[in-house]
Amino acid sequence: MTDSADSRWTHAGHGRPESSEPPPTTTAIAAGMQLPAGFAAIAEDAELGPAISTSMARVERVLREAISNSDPLADATSKHLMEAGGKRIRPLLTILAAHLGDSERAEVLQAAAVVELTHLATLYHDDVMDSAPYRRGAPTAHEVWGNTVAILAGDLIFARASILVSDLGGRALAIQARTFERLCLGQLHETVGPRDGEDPLQHYISVLSDKTGSLIAASGQFGVIFSGAPSEYESVLVDYGEKVGVAFQLADDVIDVTGGKVTSGKIAGTDLREGVPTLPVLLLRRAAADGDASAQRVLGFVDADLSGDDALAAAVDAIASHPVTEQSWAVAREWADAAKAALRPLPEGVVKDSLAAFADAVVERRA
């Protein structure tokens, strides 16, 4: 008996479990969507607002279909983080960039799903490497199923992203492959730290560019390519994405060491406890090496045993009250301003304004 295309997909693990409920309609998904901070101009635009919401709802349906699995364990683990929520910033940037061209092309939705699946997959791996207990308010996959299953779930989602991107052609595959390479290299370089003689701060920025900037850049690039927008906008969105991605992660790292866990979803001091060097700590060490007594005092808290909650809280408070915190916000703002400057070649309008507002929003998340 010859397998049909549908049965081959099922044998490969695709398809919904028999017990799954029918998926919600696009209208129902769109009605429940809330755009992230910085995109108010979209929501207020009578034409663009509904178009973006509808497109994002369609992307959500593509995502749900892409990670559905006929194997119950694979289905549950793959859906775990997606069902926990998330801002969907990367697919939103794809959709928004696509409004520089023909946003109605089906390839745009598929590309938007690819970048979100890729992002989701990295989170599974990051949480294992960081031993993170929670993600998006829910227990991480490795806490529920163990490290091996969590890693394999991430791999499975990467595979689904690869299947989707393969339909988009060789150029999309090349962009995805290069982005995936940078994601891996960024994590590797963060893990091993700077080489002898390498400036720790430059190393850190390079890691952020690879781990965060690369995928955000690819998100906008896909939107331009698959909407058929003018080709000169492609480099604009790549440049913007790289810079706004660094700004976003800089802000996230400052929030981690200043106690702003309510809106960021992060547990304050996670990076400190794990020994991950972030901008405030790097600036602190530089100041201490230059003889700053206050920085040397704060380092005493940072370099102490932070396994206890009281010690961690003391370290967080010490950094938050030191000038390096404001210095770090200033650096993040510089990157956000550079991202906005990269947008100059784009035509005036809601798309350009929204991208600029998002750059401002990522460095205004003080809590």
DSSP 146-170: -HHHHHHHHHHHHHHHHHHHHTT-H
Establish if 5 belongs to a structural domain: no
Do 248 and 305 share a domain, yes or no? yes
Do 183 and 243 share a domain, yes or no? no
Do 164 and 244 share a domain, yes or no? no
Spatial distance between the Cα atoms of 206 and 337, rounded to a whole number of angstroms: 18
- Six token digits for residue 75: 């289905």
Q: What is the CATH number of the domain that holds 265?
A: 1.10.600.10
Do 142 and 186 share a domain, yes or no? yes
CA 160 to chain centre: 18
- At residue 365, the pLDDT reads 72
Which amino acid, one-letter code, is at 298?
A: V
Q: Are 324 and 295 in contact (CB under 8 A)?
A: yes
> Residue 333's CB: how many other CB atoms inside 10 A?
17
Residue finishing a domain among 208, 223, 238: 223
pTM for the structure as a whole: 0.88
- At residue 99, the pLDDT reads 95
- At residue 258, the pLDDT reads 79
Residue finishing a domain among 223, 255, 270: 223
Burial class (CB in 10 A: 0-12, 13-18, 19+), 194: middle
- Six token digits for residue 366: 């003080």
Spatial distance between the Cα atoms of 257 and 307, rounded to a whole number of angstroms: 15
Do 213 and 236 share a domain, yes or no? no
Do 127 and 205 share a domain, yes or no? yes
Return per-residue pLDDT of the chain as tens, 367 residues.
334 334 334 445 555 555 555 566 655 555 555 666 677 778 788 788 888 989 999 999 999 999 988 889 888 888 888 888 778 999 999 999 999 999 999 999 999 999 999 999 999 988 888 777 778 778 888 888 888 998 999 999 999 999 999 999 999 999 999 999 999 999 999 999 999 999 999 999 999 999 999 999 999 999 999 999 999 999 999 999 999 999 999 998 898 887 654 444 456 787 888 888 899 999 999 999 999 999 999 999 999 999 898 999 999 999 999 999 999 999 999 999 999 999 999 999 999 999 999 999 999 875 4
Please give the full DSSP string across 293-326, using - where no structure is assigned: HHHHHHHHHHTS---SHHHHHHHHHHHHTSTHHH
Spatial distance between the Cα atoms of 296 and 44, rounded to a whole number of angstroms: 49
Residue finishing a domain among 202, 223, 244: 223
Establish if 19 belongs to a structural domain: no
Spatial distance between the Cα atoms of 106 and 121, rounded to a whole number of angstroms: 23
- At residue 80, the pLDDT reads 84
100: domain range? Answer: 37-223
Cα four-point dihedral sign 46, 47, 52, 57: positive
Do 169 and 234 share a domain, yes or no? no
Do 215 and 238 share a domain, yes or no? no
